[in-house]
Amino acid sequence: MIRDLLIISIGAILINNFVLVQFLGICPFLGVSKKVETAFGMGMAVIFVMLCASALTWIVQKYLLDPFGLGYLQTIAFILVIAVLVQLVEMFLQKSVPSLYNSLGVYLPLITTNCAVLGVAIQNITKFGTAEMSFLKSLTYGTSAAIGFTLAIVLFAGVRERLETSDIPDFLKGMPIVLVTAALLSIAFLGFSGLSFQ
């Protein structure tokens, strides 16, 4: 059991990183990665939302959609669950950490439509199935995917901060160097695809 959870964690964080390998959640990855502090705050919000979304969507699928034959409503149900969670995070940050709330700006409500969050919820069901994916494995997968997202966005933000003081050719300044950097970071993460567990 522990081995299975470890394999799920390492797979979601490094081998199948949602941003750098599966290319999900690119909008906040590019938009909120100018400063490490902001990227870390976004990562923490995504960890909370993905953890709760994995738990709640698994429960909704197992005890509501599957028993009543409502599988065709899966995407709508999952988006509703995620939207409620994001609204709770938004209200919490607005009251307790207004500086982070202001720096995240429009990207915080965009977690609702962040395909990485929805991707985790759907992959928990379609990739593994509720019979194979226990509640604990679902939580592990969701949390690990969010940690992988946070790792990617914080690393990328660190590189972007260094780019601000670097001597870059004029034709690469701005978004071109950002996209080249993201591509190189993605290639670096592809190196983990050779990991295997015997």
Whether this prediction's pTM lies above 0.85 is answered by yes
> What is the per-residue pLDDT for 109?
80
> What is the per-residue pLDDT for 115?
84
**Blockwise average pLDDT, block size 10, the chain, 198 residues:** 89 92 89 90 89 93 92 92 88 88 79 84 75 83 95 96 90 92 93 73
> What is the per-residue pLDDT for 129?
55
DSSP string, 3-43: HHHHHHHHIIIIIT-TTTTS--SHHHHHHS-SSHHHHHHHH
Given a contact cutoff of 8 angstroms between Cβ atoms, the answer to whether 63 and 57 are in contact is: no
Given a contact cutoff of 8 angstroms between Cβ atoms, the answer to whether 92 and 59 are in contact is: no
